[in-house]
Homo-oligomer: A and B are copies of this chain.
Amino acid sequence: MSDKGKITPSILPGFMELLPGEQVAFNGMLDSIKESFELCGFLPLDTPVIEKAEILKAKGGEETERQLYAFKKGENELALRFDLTVPFARYVSQRMNDLTFPFKRYQIGKVFRGERPQKGRFREFYQCDIDIVDKDNLSLAYDAEILSTTYTTFERLNIGGFLIKINNRKLLTGFIESLGLNEKLSKILRNIDKKDKTGDESVKQELSNMGCSSAQVEKLIKFINTDGTPKEIIKSLAALNIGNENFQTGLEEMQEIVKYLGYMNIPVSCWKIDLSIARGLDYYTGTVFETILKDYPEFGTICGGGRYDNLTEYFTSQKLPGVGVSIGLTRLFDQLSERGLIKIDGSAILRVAVLPLGEYMELAYGLVANLRKNNVSAEVLLLGDGLKKKLSIVNKRGIKFAAIIGENEIKNKVITIKDMESGEQEEVNIENVVDYIKKA
């Protein structure tokens, strides 16, 4: 057979496409995240994949513009969303009068970034976002609610131990200001943000290169490495006696959030204060946090978020402070998959295969219809000659039960139900098959 003259079936580099078994596992994670978000009272939202380019470009930024899939159709300048946060800011600004505040929403969907493809980087990937916004003011209880939902989500996702590292931008900013380094603020933040990847020495070197004195460098490095329990860290921050207003506000906010996290019974093994967390995105104004997997710190940040006060400022004069978090599921799945940590299991879909051994099609299809009516997934297996071959197919596909209809069964008005895991089989009266399977 020659495929000459055919178009080679392929996809673009940087796009994830899974085999069915992998897809079942991926959807399992997606559903688990969705359930956790709903358990915590977040409402679903779905915004268009295609937005007006001016909306997505509102905030600007060289990197965003370069990565943006932007194009023209008719008279319109269009673009594909590169995150779910900007469309959310647009949505809340647009539908303000139709929403109840504080507005808690989740959105799970694909976003698009035309990055240079490299290992672990995707051009199309799923983000799973939650955000809470309110008019004028938003209680710090909601920062804690986002952290608590993050905890619930990873706890239920069951991918091993995780650690939520929490900081407050105002603490960092205030400390840097107290060192008289106001003018280098954003450069220093960007540098600190890279600490986990590059290490202390590299951060020190770059701070020196920026023109920080060695005393300033030492103080900064000591500060971002402050270690201890939340209470200990708060105590040592207070003991620094820094009068800077940002610093003091940050400290109060941190204390408040720590108080709420206690109320919410989040195990202390799952979170800590980490003063080196800065977050790359410049719209964060208060609480910031990142999550890592304890057994796989090399995965890096598997979700990140924080408080933002001005995200809607391009669209409305109404003040709409918010706090949120985003999980990059495609990359996480890819990393887990690469380590063999994803269980590929076809049985997740089909529970019963009905095996007619001969011309018993009417009975076979009738049984399948009855099972489906009773919410048991089932199908007739037409493949394979003979019982042995048929059972080996059922086994290979990971289907839990085989329902066998042969000459003997017809004679005795029974169906043989074989449990493929235990290997045990039983003859069950035709009328009782659905009940038998449902109870099993």
Chain A positions near chain B (C-beta within 8 angstroms): 1-3, 6-12, 15-20, 23-24, 26-27, 38-52, 54-55, 58, 69-74, 76, 78, 80, 90-91, 93-95, 98-100, 102-105, 110, 112, 114, 123-124, 139, 141, 145, 148, 152, 260, 262-266, 314-318, 346, 349-350, 361-362, 364-366, 368-370, 372, 375-380, 382-383, 396-397
Contact = CB atoms under 8 A, between A and B. Distances in A.
Contacts of A23: 43-46
A393 to B, nearest CB: 8
A49 B365 contact: no
B71 A71 contact: yes
20 contacts: A1-B318, A3-B317, A6-B316, A7-B315, A11-B51, A11-B90, A17-B46, A20-B44, A20-B45, A23-B43, A38-B377, A49-B49, A49-B80, A69-B73, A74-B114, A148-B369, A260-B365, A263-B362, A265-B366, A265-B370
A102 B380 CA distance: 12
A204 to B, nearest CB: 38
A349 B130 CA distance: 14
Contacts of A100: 396-397
Given A49-B124, A71-B69, A124-B50, A377 B27 contact: no
Given A6-B315, A380-B141, A40 B369 contact: no
Nearest to A103: B20
A323 to B, nearest CB: 14
Nearest to A263: B365
A93 B44 CA distance: 36
B12 A50 contact: yes
A142 to B, nearest CB: 8
A263 B49 contact: no
A23 to B, nearest CB: 5
B9 A93 contact: yes
A50 B112 contact: yes
Nearest to A43: B20
Given A263-B361, A317-B1, A78 B44 contact: no
A44 B39 CA distance: 24
B264 A90 contact: no
A39 B314 CA distance: 46
Contacts of A24: 43-44
Nearest to A93: B9
A344 to B, nearest CB: 12
Contacts of A369: 148, 264-266
Nearest to A376: B39
A63 to B, nearest CB: 15
A364 B264 CA distance: 9
B41 A350 contact: yes
Contact of A48 (B12, B42, B48, B262): B12
Contact of A73 (B50, B52, B114, B376): B114
The 5 A-B pairs with the shortest beta carbon distances in the complex, nearest first, are A71-B71, A263-B365, A9-B94, A41-B379, A20-B43
A39 to B, nearest CB: 5
A124 B11 contact: no
B9 A316 contact: yes
A221 to B, nearest CB: 36
A101 to B, nearest CB: 9
Contacts of A379: 40-41, 104, 145
